[in-house]
Structure 1
Amino acid sequence: IQYHPSLLPLHRGSSAMNWPIIFGRTETGLSVFWPDEGMDTGPVLLQKSCEIGPDDTLGSLYFERLFPMGVDAMAEAVALVGAGEAPRIEQDHSLSTYEPPCGEEHARIPWHEPAQLVYDRIRGCNPQPGAWTTRRGGERLGVFDSRLTPDNEPGMPGAVIRIEEDGIDVRLNGGVLHVKRVQPQGARKVNAGEWAAEVGLKVGARFR
């Protein structure tokens, strides 16, 4: 038997935890299934569902829900197999979805998109593969812990509108993103406000 962190046949593939968050889903779960020759296509033994909160990240979803749920589910599945009571429920392949491995090419922040889509992409890539953007000159910057507010403020999407000790506010298309943690290229993750002061980031600067 095998564990998969989605409600099969949805989100087949190796990045089954990233994509539901990136797509803005509010529910996901896990499946324990009988492997066959296909990718995540075998009959299901059991499934458990869980909520995706509006501020959940890949990390919080895994460590707070899917990992502990998975431990319990595998124990339950092993017990069912041992008792000869484990079902084999065929998946409805007509409902299947598959997404590619979530890599750097999927993690670039699309500042021009609506605010919620930007926020969902950052959440779904935190901590891996890590959402990223660039500054003037092409310097790459990873963007991690953040919060979205629905405030409408003047400026272009991707523009810095405030710099505070605990982070920086970036104008979005329909909201404001408060970024609390960033990772400069080739360096470790740091407080976004401290990084902004160190590199001399100014209000009006724009990420691309």
Structure 2
Amino acid sequence: MGTPEFAVPSLDILLKNGYEVVGVITSTDKYGGRGNKKLIESAIKKYAVKKGLKVLQPKNLKAPEFVAELRSLNADLQVVVAFRMLPVIVWDMPTIGTINLHGSLLPKYRGAAPINWAVINGEKETGVTTFFIRHEIDTGDLLFQEKMPIGADETVGEVHDRMMYLGADLVLKTVKAIESNNYQLRKQDESLVSKAPKIYTADCEINFNQPTQKVHDFIRGLSPYPTAWTTLNELKLKIFKASREISKHTYAAGQFFTDNKNYLKISTADGFIQIHNLQLQGRKRLGVKDFLNGYKIVLDMNEKKRYNIFVSTKMNTFNILDIDESELEKIIALYKYGKDNIFLKGKKYWFSDLSEIQIYTFENEKIKTEQELISLCKSKKLFKSGMFG
């Protein structure tokens, strides 16, 4: 029992090892493609038909006619790989029972999207599990498990494609063990349970106001499907492939940066996400250079930059303050129009005591302390070329 491509290697390996497959149960055919005019068959049905296997495609798994036909197959064991939830009358039918292949190391990531959530959560390891199906979903007694690593930059699609073959090997191992009655069941440890619920399109919007690593994991955990997205000029922008750039900055999260030729990146809480493969609403999926070759991004020049202010007084005290563009404009206006004092971050400064105010931006510098900024200004000889002098 199965539907997507993930299930095909498991069916294939059982056939190649001489097991009699008396029937294949899969989803009904659906219309899709442009205009919903093309009848689409599941991957498992295509394979089964090619191999001359009997295929059942019930709309209702409790329908008496389907249950009767399934019973007539007299299966000793049912194997479920990526199929929908079964009613008791179906999974309890075979004499041995019904086993399921699950794409996680149960009891972690019970639910419909275990591979996605493992990648989204930054897991370095996942795996596959076989177990006997019971009433509650993914709670049955464990048969076997096999672990596999998750690469730091792997997408869920890449993990999926490796996992389906690892899963097929585990299905074969499990069926052989059941055949020879050489296995021990293990109860799942309920204290280790985590959930992997179905992911909807609305859940896939990227929150850039997070650490770069979390944003990166979110993108790769949804690529290629259902795909992480944001908006660009009020159009949905899907991001399929990206990389991390950890660097201190003072930009608002979610701001776009591009040279409109080679790169496109978006600011996060502690760096940037470099986009490599994307799809804008109404357009084809493209690499970033091809995309920029045919689409010019006009950046919002009203985005507020942050500035560092160096204030030198006659008493030789220094204050380095983080201000935005509107605050900067206010300070300049007060200074130009001869006001006798200014407030910088709640502190009053009298112009008569000020020997110098200079303003700099250091977009690519990692500055942690006031002294570091003063040293940087001195090393670049910026004290002689400030905005005020």
TM-score scaled by length of structure 2: 0.50
Structure 2 contact 264–275 (Cα < 8 Å) conserved: yes
Residue 151 (structure 1) aligns with: 247
Structure-1 residue corresponding to 2:166 = 69
**Which sections of structure 1, spanning at least 5 residues, go unmatched?**
none
1:14-163 alignment, distance < 5 Å: 14-64=112-162, 66-136=163-233, 138-163=234-259
Q: Percent identity?
A: 27
Moved more, 88-97 or 1-10: 88-97
- 3-state SS of the aligned residue for 2:114? coil
Q: Matched residues in 2 for 1:63 and 1:204: separation? A: 40
Q: Are the aligned partners of 2:142 and 2:188 in contact in 1 as well (CA < 8 Å)? A: yes
Q: Measure how far apart 1:20 and its partner are.
A: 1.2
CA distance in 2, matches of 1:103, 1:28: 22
* Contact 1:52-1:61 within 8 A present in 2 as well: yes
Give the residue type in structure 2 aligned to 1:140.
K
For the pair 1:8 / 2:99, whether they are aligned, the reply is: no
Which stretch has the larger CA shift, 144-153 or 49-58? 144-153
Q: Give the conservation status (yes or no) of the 8 Å contact 1:2–1:34.
A: yes
Question: Within 1, Cα distance between the matches of 2:201 and 2:143?
Answer: 34
Structure 2 gaps of 5+ residues are 1-98, 304-389
Does 1:174 find its partner at 2:270?
A: yes
- Give distance in 2, aligned partners of 1:153 and 1:160: 13
Q: Deviations over 1:138-168 (max 9, x none)?
A: 2111011111122334532222223364541
* Aligned counterparts of 2:261 and 2:173: Cα–Cα separation in 1: 48
Where does residue 194 of structure 1 map in the other structure? 290
Query: Contact 2:260–2:296 at 8 Å: present in 1 too?
Result: no
**Following TM superposition, by how much is the alpha carbon of 1:52 offset from its aligned partner in structure 2, in angstroms?**
1.5
The count of residues paired between Structure 1 and Structure 2 equals: 204
Go from structure 1 to structure 2 and tell me whether the alpha carbon gap of 1:164 and 1:180 turns closer, same or farther (over 3 Å shift). farther
Return the TM-score normalized by structure 1: 0.90
| Distance in 1 of aligned mates of 2:260 and 2:247 | 17
Structure 2: how far apart are the matches of 1:204 and 1:196? 17
Q: Aligned-pair distance for 1:8?
A: 0.5
Letter in 2 for 1:93: E
Q: Partners of 1:30 and 1:79 in 2: how far apart?
A: 17
Instruction: Give the CA RMSD over aligned residues.
Output: 1.9
Provide the secondary structure at the position in 2 that maps to 1:77: helix
Who is 2:73 aligned against? none
Q: Which SS does the other structure have where 2:251 is aligned?
A: coil
User: How far has the Cα of 1:125 moved from its partner?
Assistant: 0.4
Distance 1:189 1:63, change over 3 A: same
Secondary structure of the structure 2 residue equivalent to 1:17: helix
Deviations 1:100-124 (A, max 9, x none): 2012122101011111111111010
Contact 1:142 1:182 in 2 (8 A): yes
Residue type matched to 1:41 in 2? T
Larger Rg: 2
Moved more, 92-101 or 120-129: 92-101
Is residue 260–residue 297 contact of structure 2 (8 Å, CA) maintained in 1? no
